[in-house]
Copies of this chain bind each other. A is one copy, B any other.
Amino acid sequence: MARVREFDTEAALEAAMSAFRRKGYEGTSVQDLVDATGIGRGSLYAAFGSKEGLYLAVMDRYREQYAVPLIELLDSGAPARELIRSVLLGVVDEIVRDGTRQSCLIVSATTERLPHDPEVAGRVRATTSSLENALTEVIAKGRASGRLTSTRAPGDLARFLLTTIHGLRVMGAINTDRGTLTNIAEVALGCLD
C-alpha cells in the first residue's frame, strides 16, 4: 500500500512526555518536541494532529503506563495497609528518581491545562477517579476485615490519600529528600486507623 511508519509511537510518546514534564505544556515548543522525539514536524502532525493532540496522547499513555498498573496492584487483594503503603512509597520512589527536573504530568495538567481544555479535564478526572475508586474499595475491604480501624467513610479516606499523593508530588518539586517524603507518607498512613 504505502510507506511504513519509521518511528516507534510509544517511544515518541515517552520522549514527548519527558519534555512536557520538564517544561509544562505552554513551556514546551513544537521544536522541543521535534528535538525530543527525533521526529520531523510533518510526521508529528500527521500522527497526532496538533500539539494539543500529542499532549492528550501523552496523557493517555501516562494513564496506561502509570495509573493502570497502580490500580491493578490495588485490585490484587493483598492486605489494605501494605497495599496503600506500597502505593505511597512507590510515589516517593518515583519522585526521588525523577528529581526536581520532572514534575507529575497529572498535577501540571491539572493546574496548567484543566481549566482551559475540556479534553484534559476529562482525562484528569478519569484517571484520578479510577484511582480513587480502587483506593476506596481497598479501604472498604480492609475495614470489613478489621485491618483498618478508622471510622471515616472509605471514600473520604481514599480522597485524602489522593490528596496526599498530589501533595507529595508538589513537595517533591521543592525538596526531593527521600527521608522527608517517606516520613510524610508514614504520617498519612497513620490516618487509616
Contacts and interface: CB of A to CB of B under 8 A. Distances in A.
A11 to B, nearest CB: 24
B170 A170 contact: yes
A14 B101 CA distance: 30
Interface residues of A, number: 46
A156 B107 CA distance: 23
A66 to B, nearest CB: 16
Copies, count:
2
A170 B45 CA distance: 31
Contacts of A124: 174
A114 interface: yes
A108 interface: yes
Interface string A139-179: 00000000000101100110110111111101101100000
B168 A156 contact: no
Contact of A167 (B100, B101, B167): B167
